[in-house]
Chains A and B, each alone.
Chain A
Amino acid sequence: MSSPEQWTHPEPDAAPAATAAKPTAEQVIAGLRATDEGGADLVQLLTPEGERVQHPDFDIDITAEELRGLYRDMVLIRRVDREANALQRKGQLGIWVPLLGQEAAQIGAGRAMRQTDMAFPSYREHGIAWTRGINPTELLGIFRGTDQGTWDPVEKRFHPYTIVIGNQVLNAAGYAMGQKFDGKVGDDEGEATMCFFGDGATSQGDVHEGFVWAAVYDAPLVFFCQNNQWAISEPTERQSRLPLYQRARGYGFPGIRVDGNDVLATLAVTKWALDECRHGNGPILIEAFTYRMDAHTTSDDPTRYRLSDELEMWKLKDPIERVKVYLVRQQWADSEFFESVEADADKLGEELREFCTNMPDPPAERIFSNVYAEASPVLDAQRDEFLDYVSGFAGGEH
């Protein structure tokens, strides 16, 4: 990966990145290029160049300390992501699902939530998990194959990763209905739910049904769609004729498109949406316009379906670098701060590597555990028979 500075300060003659923004008609038709401009409705508060800009509807008061915190979150979760990606390459994980490029969308959305709010993730939400207080080591087992998520979803208010595309949107709608039925909606102390899904998921029936349910029951639910332009190999044009945020209108609730690489705008819009929901004005759809900088997973090969100059163009919109530029220009952070964040990232990466390489395989009886809440004599017998069979091999080798 090249230095982020290169992306925000390209050489004057580095024309390819600039011209790359305009795909040819043939490239669009061939599906080789995703939508690459957010359009006039994009809510942005911090430009890719690190300039603070005003928006007529959304603004945010943020202190130096808060912004340093968001920067730190993004740097650390990017490091987690890169370390985990490397751990897969070293054979320590079976697969990894990179979030590279989506740090601002996730940290902005996650930091907008209150502890009492609930979140339903898809499977790329490592940044949201981070903001819910989940140790990144708890994400590894899913991809190493030792477990299917170990955090307590009730305590953390962070549902298990959902791998079937779109299923969690209905589960979130039901949970938000429950918040309303419980009388927890209607004032500033109200609760709300956030549901995370991608551009590909918007084609799923469950997402449509989730929109319908949340709308007719006035559920306090923020639909947070990270449009990272690619559903594995399919560009967003394969999912919709219409910009995704505009779909909300058909369901009768607001849809906002935010610059998902702008942590300030994402934080501001999500806070607003959550507040609307907790006051009883939900649901709301947010489309965070961002980009999947890496492959869909470590098993994927994006060179087969997208052009590398598109990636170069998005590097210029890096979510972390623009905050760094702004912090420096404002004199809100000095080199000591940036060095301390790097040191924290190094430490976190080391902890992750250490933890991952020492994760034990689960015992064979784990196959049979907790299939049911109530006792299952049938499975107990199956387990005992299998363990007895296994123990028949001398030395426990099997």
Chain B
Amino acid sequence: MAAPTMDRSSAAAPASPVQTLTISKALNMGLRAAMEANPKVIMMGEDIGKLGGVFRITDGLQKDFGEQRVLDTPLAESGIIGTAVGLAIRGYRPVCEIQFDGFIFPGFDQIVSQVAKLHYRTQGKIKLPIVIRVPFGGGIGAVEHHSESPESYFAHTAGLKVVSCSNPADAYWMIQQAIDSDDPVLFFEPKRRYYEKGEVDTTTQPGKLFESRVLRSGTDATLVAYGPMVRTSLDAANAAAEDGTSLEVIDLRTLSPLDLAPVYDSVRRTGRLIVVSEAPSESSIASEIAAKVQQECFYSLQAPVLRVTGFDTPYPPSKLEEEFLPDLDRVLHAVDRSLAW
């Protein structure tokens, strides 16, 4: 099936092309635009229909597109992913919602064994344009299994693509681009940032899906982050600027494939890199970036690549999550250590 065009100017149809939206509303509008553009786009998940999802990301979609395009599925994640595979083979473009990060594991088998490998197994005779949306990360005071950052498992799996948005404009566009992709995409949404606002131009795509982006230029050190940690890193850069330290901030946006050219370029100028992520650091996205940067920028580095991440523990009880999660002070502490090297 041919990917639909990206001209969604008539689909969104707001009075002004530039609106101030939350990430949550931007995702909702992006999903709506994708459904309007292509009748084969369907939504699948638990409580996404009548309720509109526990985070209301699919609010109103079942009402407008019907129960056959927005499916309140039985309560089983392997079932959601496994049936999405069959629907994709049949020509649909399923968008699956996993209610919380920690609930993706019952679907892990289908994702790794079928979603990731069917294109390779059939040498392209089967394409699986499936998007798996995952609200991820902590900071919302939740019980166990509701605050995890499992993205590395999927970035480690060949055949999958993994992205994460950090702001409303990207939320609106990246979800549509992910749905247009002929490859399966894990789409990680920063749940604690759902209600942060920003300007969204619904007529102009800000860029391609699998590209990282420099959000703030700087000269002394480079911060790389994705998802919820982009806001933390920008705040850290603002605070550092008050002390006269100039930090460059790069939003990774795509975790698989990695787009590290802007990172290499930045590190060659600043000589210092700090990777910020909520996920535990062992064998993580942050580790991969550290390895690749030392390989590509060995002679430019003025200090070892540092990682500011969650600890190598299960996610703790929520009264401890402020200590667990990287925050502005931990990022700045790492910047200080890098600069003092």
- A338 an interface residue at 8 Å Cβ cutoff? no
A120 to chain B, nearest CB (A): 8
Bound state CA distance, A326 and B123, in angstroms?
45
A73 and B296 CA atoms in complex are apart in Å by 60
A176 touches B122 (CB 8 A): no
Q: A62 near B: Cβ within 8 Å?
A: no
Contact partner, A176, options B86, B120, B129, Cβ 8 Å: B86
- For the complex, is B317 an interface residue (Cβ under 8 Å from A)? no
Select one of A175, A369, A373, A377 contacting B90, CB under 8 A: A175
Residue picked from B88, B106, B113, B125, most chain A C-beta under 10 Å: B125
Cα A330 to Cα B194 in complex, Å, equals: 75
Check A174 against B181 for contact (C-beta < 8 Å): no
CB neighbours of B113 from chain A (8 A): 164, 167
Stretch from B75-83, B262-270, B333-341 forming part of the interface with A? B75-83
Interface size on A, residues (CB 8 A): 42
Q: Which of B119, B121, B126, B161 is the most central at the interface, judged by chain A CB atoms within 10 Å of its CB?
A: B121
| A residues near B129, Cβ cutoff 8 Å | 373
Assess whether A209 is in contact with B79, with CB atoms less than 8 Å apart: yes
Interface residue A152 (Cβ < 8 Å from any Cβ of B)? yes
The answer to whether residues A173 and B126 also contact, given A148-B121, A212-B74, A216-B74 and a CB cut-off of 8 A, is no
Taking CB atoms, residues of chain A closer than 8 Å to B257 are: 376-378
Q: Are A174 and B119 in contact (CB under 8 A)?
A: no
Q: Are B83 and A206 in contact (CB under 8 A)?
A: no
Say yes or no for A210: interface residue by CB 8 A criterion. Answer: yes
Across the interface, do B126 and A170 meet the contact criterion of CB distance under 8 Å? Answer: no
Q: Of residues 233 to 273 in B, which have CB atoms within 8 Å of A's CB atoms?
A: 257-258
B25 interface contact, C-beta 8 A: no
Q: Check B122 against A206 for contact (C-beta < 8 Å).
A: no
List residues 172-217 of chain B with CB under 8 A from any CB of chain A. Answer: 181-183
CB of A397 closer than 8 Å to a CB of B = no
**A173 is contacted by which of B42, B86, B121 (Cβ under 8 Å)?**
B86
| A153 adjacent to B86 (CB under 8 Å) | no
Query: In whole angstroms, what is the CA distance A148 to B110 when docked?
Result: 18
Interface: B87 (CB within 8 A): yes
Choice from B109, B119, B124, B183 contacting A164 with Cβ under 8 Å: B109
B55-82: which have CB < 8 Å to A?
68, 73-74, 76, 78-79, 81-82
| 0/1 interface trace, chain A 138-172, chain B, CB 8 Å (1 if under) | 00000000011110111000011010100101111
B83 touches A213 (CB 8 A): yes
B158 interfacial by beta-carbon distance below 8 Å: yes
Q: How far is the CB of A164 from chain B (nearest CB, A)?
A: 5
Known: A213-B74, A378-B257. A173 touches B83 (CB 8 A): yes
Point out the residues of chain B lying under 8 angstroms from A176, CB to CB.
Answer: 86
Q: Give the docked Cα–Cα distance between A212 and B125 (Å).
A: 29
- Residues on A with C-beta less than 8 A from B87 are 174-175, 177-178, 181
**Interface check A16, CB cutoff 8 A:** no
Is A10 engaged at the interface, CB distance under 8 Å to the other chain? no
CB pair A371 B158 closer than 8 Å: yes
Residues of B within 8 A of A153 (CB): 89, 122, 125-126
A370 touches B118 (CB 8 A): no
Is the CB of A205 closer than 8 A to any CB of chain B?
yes
B114 engages A175 (CB within 8 Å): no
B137 CB-CB contact with A under 8 Å: no
Contact check: which of A154, A167, A209 meets B114 at CB < 8 Å? Answer: A167
Q: How far is the CB of B332 from the nearest CB of chain A, in Å?
A: 33
In the complex, whether B159 has a CB less than 8 A from a CB of chain A is yes
Residues of B within 8 A of A149 (CB): 121-122
Q: Which of A173, A370, A378 contacts B82 (CB 8 A)?
A: A173
- Do the beta carbons of A206 and B82 come within 8 Å of each other? yes
> Which residues on A sit within 8 Å (CB–CB) of B78?
170, 205-206, 209
Q: Kindly supply a per-residue 1/0 record for chain A positions 207-230, scoring 1 wherever the CB is within 8 Å of any chain B CB and 0 otherwise.
A: 001101100100000000000000
CA distance A177 to B118 in the complex (A): 19
Residues of B within 8 A of A213 (CB): 73-74, 79, 83
With a CB–CB cut-off of 8 A, which chain B residues contact A389?
Answer: none
CA distance A160 to B85 in the complex (A): 13
Q: Does A361 contact B (CB under 8 A)?
A: no
Is A179 an interface position by the 8 A CB rule? yes
Chain B's nearest CB lies how many Å from the CB of A375? 10
Q: Is B14 an interface residue (CB 8 A)?
A: no
Contact with B along A163-205 (1 / 0, CB 8 A): 0100101111111111101100000000000000000000001
Q: Is A37 an interface residue (CB 8 A)?
A: no
Task: Please give me the residue from chain A that is nearest to B74 by CB atom.
Answer: A212
Decide: B119 and A370 in contact? CB cutoff 8 A: yes
B-side contacts of A175, CB under 8 Å: 86-87, 89-90
A225 CB, min distance to chain B CBs, angstroms? 17
Question: Does chain A have a CB within 8 A of B127?
Answer: yes
Closest A-chain residue to B91, C-beta based?
Answer: A178
CA A265 to CA B129, docked complex, whole Å: 40
Q: Give Cα A239–Cα B198 distance, bound, in whole angstroms.
A: 55
From known contacts A205-B78, A205-B106, infer whether A372 and B161 are also in contact, taking CB-CB under 8 Å: yes
- CB proximity of B265 to chain A, nearest CB, Å: 16
Q: Is A374 an interface residue (CB 8 A)?
A: yes
Contact in complex: B82, A210 (CB < 8 Å)? yes
A178 near B79 with CB under 8 A, answer: no
Chain B contacts to A: CB under 8 angstroms? 42, 68, 73-74, 76, 78-79, 81-92, 106, 109-110, 113-114, 118-127, 129, 158-159, 161, 181-183, 257-258
User: Can you list 25 residue pairs at the A/B interface with Cβ under 8 Å?
Assistant: A148-B120, A148-B122, A153-B89, A153-B126, A154-B125, A170-B81, A171-B83, A171-B89, A174-B88, A175-B86, A177-B86, A178-B87, A181-B42, A181-B87, A205-B78, A206-B110, A212-B76, A213-B83, A370-B123, A371-B120, A371-B159, A372-B119, A372-B161, A372-B183, A374-B183
Q: Which 7 A-B pairs rank lowest in CB-CB distance, beginning with the nearest?
A: A174-B86, A170-B82, A178-B90, A174-B83, A175-B86, A209-B79, A373-B182
Q: A182-B90, A377-B257, A378-B258 are in contact. List 20 more A-B contacts (CB 8 A).
A: A148-B121, A149-B121, A152-B125, A153-B126, A160-B121, A167-B113, A170-B83, A171-B82, A171-B86, A171-B89, A173-B79, A178-B91, A181-B42, A209-B82, A213-B73, A370-B124, A371-B158, A372-B161, A373-B127, A376-B257
